[in-house]
A = this chain, B = another copy of it.
Amino acid sequence: MTNNKTPFRIAIAGLGTVGAGVVKVLQDNHDVIKNRCGRDIEIISVTASNKTKDRGVDISNYEWVDNLSSMAEDNRVDAVVEMIGGSEGDAKTLVEVALKNGKHVVTANKALLAHHGFVLSQLAESYGVSIAYEASVAGGIPVIKALREGLAANEITNIYGILNGTCNYILTEMRETERNFDAVLKDAQEMGYAEADPSFDVDGVDAAHKLVLLGALAFGVQPDFESLEIEGISNLTMKDINYAEELGYRIKLIGMAQCDDGVFTQVVSPCFVSKKNAISQVEGVFNAIMVEGDFVDKVMIQGRGAGAGPTASSVVADIIDLARGERVSTFGVPTEKLKAIEWRGVETLNAKCYIHLHVKDVSGVIADITACLKDKDVSIDSFIQRGHEEDGTASVAIVTHKASLVKVNNAVRVVEELATVLNKPTLVRIEDI
> A residues within 8 Å of B by Cβ?
1-2, 21, 25, 28-29, 32-33, 35-36, 38, 125, 130, 134, 140-142, 145-146, 149-155, 220, 278, 281-282, 293-304, 307, 309-310, 312-317, 319-321, 324-329, 332-334, 337
A276 CA to B282 CA in the complex, in Å?
11
Option from B33, B125, B134, B333 in Cβ contact (under 8 Å) with A150: B134
Q: Is the CB of A151 within 8 A of B313?
A: yes
Q: Which residues of B contact A304 (CB under 8 A)?
A: 296-299
Q: Is the CB of A300 within 8 A of B301?
A: yes
Option from B130, B153, B281, B297 in Cβ contact (under 8 Å) with A29: B153
Q: Which residues of B contact A298 (CB under 8 A)?
A: 303-304
Beta-carbon nearest neighbor of A307 in chain B: B297
Q: Is the CB of B153 within 8 A of A317?
A: yes
Complex copy number for this chain: 2
Q: Which residues of B contact A301 (CB under 8 A)?
A: 146, 299-301
Q: Is the CB of B326 within 8 A of A33?
A: no
A120 CA to B38 CA in the complex, in Å?
19
Given contacts A130-B1, A295-B140, A297-B140, contact A152 B302 (CB under 8 A): no
Given contacts A29-B155, A36-B333, A152-B33, contact A297 B310 (CB under 8 A): yes
Nearest CB of chain B from residue A287's CB, rounded to whole Å = 10
Given contacts A329-B1, A334-B35, contact A300 B297 (CB under 8 A): no
Option from B145, B312, B327 in Cβ contact (under 8 Å) with A149: B145
Nearest CB of chain B from residue A7's CB, rounded to whole Å = 16
Option from B294, B302, B319 in Cβ contact (under 8 Å) with A28: B294
A132 CA to B316 CA in the complex, in Å?
23
A152 CA to B324 CA in the complex, in Å?
11
Q: Is the CB of A313 within 8 A of B154?
A: yes
Option from B142, B294, B295, B328 in Cβ contact (under 8 Å) with A1: B328
Nearest CB of chain B from residue A206's CB, rounded to whole Å = 20
A33 CA to B149 CA in the complex, in Å?
11
Nearest CB of chain B from residue A172's CB, rounded to whole Å = 13
Q: Is the CB of A36 within 8 A of B332?
A: yes
Beta-carbon nearest neighbor of A300 in chain B: B302
A145 CA to B321 CA in the complex, in Å?
11
A326 CA to B282 CA in the complex, in Å?
33
A273 CA to B329 CA in the complex, in Å?
41
